[in-house]
Amino acid sequence: MGKRVLVTGGAGFIGSHLCRYLLAKGHEVLCLDNFFTGRKSNIDELVERHDFELIRHDITEPILLEVDWIYNLACPASPVHYQYNPVKTVKTNVMGVINMLGLAKRVKARILQASTSEVYGDPLVHPQTESYWGHVNPIGIRSCYDEGKRVAETLMMDYHRQNRVDIRIARIFNTYGPNMLVDDGRVVSNFIVQALRGEDLTIYGDGLQTRSFCYVDDLVAALYRLMESDHFAGPVNLGNPCEFTMLKLAELVLELTDSQSEITHLPLPEDDPIQRRPDISKAKSLLDWTPKVQLREGLQQAVNYFRQVLEG
């Protein structure tokens, strides 16, 4: 049967794809956003639908809604944006998560928290399994986000143990695709936008650091399966285990955009993780899920999207 689903951060990059996916599955969607990094244009064609509702709200303030499922995605995800107002980032991950858990408790909704691979910090274990506790700087410029998300996980666990709230925790690894902002600041959108504009591609550091990139459609399918899954089985890594250096990513973007842009090197930001790749054995067995879209194919979709946005 169709559920009433709250998607916080629903006008953002992942949230906007999730809203569409849920509607296609026959659910009713309440999309909540404060429009910090979210845009109405991401959900433009949904607002007229009878099964879609848009609520301008900040999750650091309480709200009461009758819902069955809550996807708590509200939180800026790009270092540029989460470091813009770090105290607000912490509030979103502490007060915001408490508010969403309070709502889940009151209306007996199932709640899924968007956590992150950043809970592993600059990992000393590679690839990262869910049992690894991480290597996180508690006082650095990334801490508002990394530690914020770690507290969010703690709150989820404590509401689960103390109040029997029905929870799911998704540890999301680097995800990319259409609906990212042109000025999002994350590496995939930066490189594509720079290549399309004929500007230098900005590699931070030597470019040998690695990330593993997941196409947004694969990620959204996993978020859905995790929410649907019968019982809470602890945090689950969601991502694509194909690992690339930033140099390789830059080369691929230059090839796919047919761009004459050059590569330039800028200083590596403080605490930037050296390597990251998810071990997704748990997601595979628990959710019968595996990512399908290869980087080249997904990047082509993202290139098409940004080309359209920049021309429009």
- Considering the complex, state which of residue 85 and residue 200 has its C-beta at the smaller distance from ligand NAD: 85
Q: Select from 35, 69, 28 the least CA-distant residue to 49.
A: 28
Size of the site for ligand NAD (CB under 6 A): 28
- Considering the complex, state which of residue 122 and residue 153 has its C-beta at the smaller distance from ligand UDP: 122
Provide the sign of the torsion angle of the four alpha carbons 64, 67, 70, 72, taken in this order: negative
Q: What is the x/- site pattern for ligand UDP, positions 197-216, by CB under 6 A?
A: -----xxx----x-x-----
Judged by CB under 6 A, the residue of 5, 31, 74, 156 near ligand NAD is 74
| Strand order from edge to edge, sheet including 52-56 | 52-56, 28-33, 4-8, 69-72, 110-116, 167-172, 236-238
Find the shortest distance in angstroms from Cβ 263 to ligand NAD.
23
Find the shortest distance in angstroms from Cβ 2 to ligand UDP.
35
Cα–Cα distance measured from residue 206 to residue 193, given in angstroms and rounded to the nearest whole number: 21
Q: List the interface residues with ligand UDP, window 71-100 (CB under 6 A).
A: 78-79
As a residue count, the chain comes to: 312
**Coil, helix or strand for 148?**
helix
Which sequence positions are flagged as catalytic?
A: 145
CB 103, CB 50: distance < 8 Å: no
Residue 175's binding partner among ligand NAD, ligand UDP, none (Cβ under 5 to 8 angstroms by kind) is ligand NAD
Choose the stretch contacting ligand NAD; rule: CB under 6 A; options: 10-18, 255-263, 268-276, 292-300. 10-18
Give CB contacts under 8 A, 24+ apart, made by 220-224: 220/14, 220/17, 220/18, 220/21, 221/21, 221/289, 222/170, 222/283, 222/287, 222/289, 222/291, 223/14, 223/18, 223/71, 223/112, 223/114, 223/170, 224/18, 224/21, 224/22, 224/25
Choose the stretch contacting ligand NAD; rule: CB under 6 A; options: 52-60, 192-200, 201-209, 277-285. 52-60
Judged by CB under 6 A, the residue of 174, 179, 212, 261 near ligand UDP is 174
CB 131, CB 233: distance < 8 Å: no
Choose the stretch contacting ligand UDP; rule: CB under 6 A; options: 59-67, 100-108, 126-134, 268-276. 268-276
Cα–Cα distance measured from residue 173 to residue 189, given in angstroms and rounded to the nearest whole number: 16
CB 61, CB 102: distance < 8 Å: no
Q: Select from 286, 301, 311, 272 the least CA-distant residue to 80.
A: 272
Q: List the interface residues with ligand NAD, window 11-30 (CB under 6 A).
A: 11-15
- Considering the complex, state which of residue 170 and residue 259 has its C-beta at the smaller distance from ligand NAD: 170
Q: Which tokens sit at 301?
A: 């979709």
Q: List the interface residues with ligand NAD, window 53-72 (CB under 6 A).
A: 58-60
Find the shortest distance in angstroms from Cβ 8 to ligand NAD.
6
Judged by CB under 6 A, the residue of 5, 77, 167, 223 near ligand NAD is 77
Which positions lie near ligand NAD, rule CB under 6 A?
8-9, 11-15, 33-38, 58-60, 73-77, 92, 96, 114, 116, 172, 174-175
Residues that bind ligand UDP (CB under 6 A): 78-79, 174, 186-187, 190, 202-204, 209, 211, 246, 268-269, 272
